[in-house]
A and B are shown apart, each in its own frame.
Chain A
Amino acid sequence: MDFGLNAEQRQIRDTVAEFVDEEVVPAPPRSTTLTTTPTIWSTRWPIWG
């Protein structure tokens, strides 16, 4: 059994993926480069600070 997608199936995947990325996936999270711990952490949950 061959599970590789043919050209038509790949095209369908790419078309749906493009639609989903543009229309469905919510906006990115508040930060994608979290190199420091936000101040709010130490006030909301001192045990983590």
Chain B
Amino acid sequence: MADLGLMGMPFPTEYGGAGLDYHSYAIGIEEISRGSGGLGTIVAAHTSLAGNMLYEFGDEHQKEEYLTPLAAGDDLGAFALSEAGAGSDVPAMTTTGEKDGDEYVINGGKLWTSNGSVADTVTVFAKTDPDAGNKGISAFVVRPEEDDGFIVENTEHKLGDKGCQTAELRFDDLRLHEDRLIGDEGDGFVQALKTLNGGRISIAARGVGIARAAKEAAADYATDREQFDQPISEFQAIQHKLADMDTKLQAAKLLMHKAADLKMRDEDYIKEAAQAKLYASEVSREVANEAIQVHGGYGYTKDFPVERYYRDAKLNEIYEGTSEVLRNTIAQQLLD
């Protein structure tokens, strides 16, 4: 994948990336996720979250030292934000980063960190001023192989997305030189929100890719499977299912490209990215569900891939902004 430039699609070539526009990046994630939702998560978290944190907010040294090997595919990245008591409520995090001379001492832990157990570079968020609320959160570059005190506590046993390692992390007096701080102290919350906003386009692409795989599997199966002496695709009930699946899929794809288009034009795309991610996530689950229905009993077994599409699709409605949080975001944009 590194040889094809798939690990740094949207980043400039000077930082080891492929220099692709955001439509192309979304298409790339869509195609990868068509094959594997887990691989889609790996690449999206690596690129849109870890990579983008460094590209958008890192200094030149951090871009050369940490972004370039990520974009070239030599290193793998992760983004550690969520905690046991801080999911959608990011400011509730309890991980701290206490200044000690020219170092920060990180203590605490993170949950649901995609790639967290296998990453070479992890962007970690911690409270450097616990009394300052949103403005007391800062982001750091952590290198698990170099930094003592980075501990992988566990990897999750999940319903789906099994191709991607999801880790529980602990930081035990993890000491970081101040040159690991990304941007300025206290900027972490805004950095996280902006990064997650861009990341929603890639998660929409993951949803579109999974939905495509499910629809294509359903169409193929309906053509092959015969009941009552004819392929089941001859029945209007099946035809209508396929028609609805493709119509929803095409609408999700258009929302994805609309958000990508606005991002490329440097226009505000908060609402459109949230809508693309929300709709593509729900569509991927609905289309995968219908694909199982078209397959009947076979679809409920592991002999066919549609059960995997269903399990992988469900995650889209939860991570990088739940569907409920995204509806809040869209409503706020409409009412502001």
Contact = CB atoms under 8 A, between A and B. Distances in A.
A8 B24 CA distance: 9
A16 B224 contact: no
A41 B35 CA distance: 29
B36 A12 contact: no
Interface string B15-32: 000001101100110011
Given A24-B39, A34-B225, A45-B297, A16 B31 contact: yes
B32 A32 contact: no
Chain A interface size band reads: 20 to 34
Contact of A12 (B27, B39, B226): B27
A29 interface: yes
B35 A20 contact: yes
Interface residues of B, number: 29
A31 to B, nearest CB: 8
B334 interface: no
B4 interface: yes
A5 B24 CA distance: 9
Contacts of B224: 32-35
A16 B6 contact: yes
B298 interface: yes
A19 B4 contact: yes
Nearest to B225: A34
Interface stretch (B61-69, B117-125, B253-261, B284-292): B253-261
A16 B297 contact: no
Nearest to B253: A3
Contact of B31 (A3, A13, A34): A13
B87 interface: no
Contact of A16 (B4, B21, B305): B4
B32 A16 contact: yes
Interface of B: 1, 4, 6, 20-21, 23-24, 27-28, 31-32, 34-36, 39, 220-221, 224-226, 254, 257-258, 261, 297-298, 303-305
Interface of A: 1, 3, 5, 8-9, 12-13, 15-17, 19-21, 23-26, 29-30, 32-35, 41, 45, 48
25 contacts: A3-B257, A3-B261, A8-B24, A9-B21, A9-B23, A9-B24, A12-B24, A16-B4, A16-B28, A17-B31, A19-B1, A19-B4, A19-B6, A23-B35, A24-B35, A24-B36, A25-B36, A29-B303, A29-B305, A34-B224, A34-B226, A34-B298, A35-B225, A41-B297, A45-B297
